[in-house]
Structure 1
């Protein structure tokens, strides 16, 4: 577990050479920081969505998050500070995370940034609306941006609807380059 400059625990980014998709959330839940693992909140469907879409070969447990780069996947957040709800974060706090995101994408030459929730993408870009799926333009430079439904169990979309977008991402990754 690492700590921020004030000594508070923070969740480390999961990123490495070869990552093809960087999942970006608002911020970690207190449970995720306490556990030291991404998407550890009870009811969070992230790991089920990855497995059901074929992005991982099996459902992972949050404590196996370190395996994500093995399948070309990574994870980060716009804000390191944990909160119970993303509503506790200010717009300026969320936008302040964009330079860090850009540095990660550039350093690891990540071709695709997947925002786990429309609100995450809108907060990062400052846009007022966006469709699901691939976006026109890129917040981070050369990487493509895709907006996925939030894996949170609190998100109102049924699992099957969320899964459709995660499967589309998996299919996009299977396409030959060019």
Structure 2
């Protein structure tokens, strides 16, 4: 489906909506006119109904017809919403491909993964430093009663922990 077809379908749906609104307004006016032409009271309601029974039946048929049109409109609107989303998705993807968004995305993702690997290595380096400091002290003193482990995120001001996303991203790059 192309853009012109989408615009055409949206315009057709808008026209249908306006026609239904117009039919509702006309029906409401006809109802009001029937009641206005004759003052209805408890004394003359039976006479009013018998004199206007054909008109009332016709109004009821018109009401049913409008309800059927509204149902059809809802179905058309639902179908259009599916087609519209499909068009928007495909067009967005096409334009993103034309602007090389995917290639730039993959390049940035590789940079992020490489940086993540570097951060993991820095974390290991801090852990190794901590182990060597503890090892050096424990050669001379018994440290079992003391806290000796220093967590890398207490040394490094900000630390990323996202191995699940990391593996998903790595898998994505390997497959694309």
- The TM-score normalised by the length of structure 1 is 0.16
Greater Cα radius of gyration, structure 1 or 2: 2
Which has the larger strand fraction? 1
The TM-score with structure 2 as length reference comes to 0.16
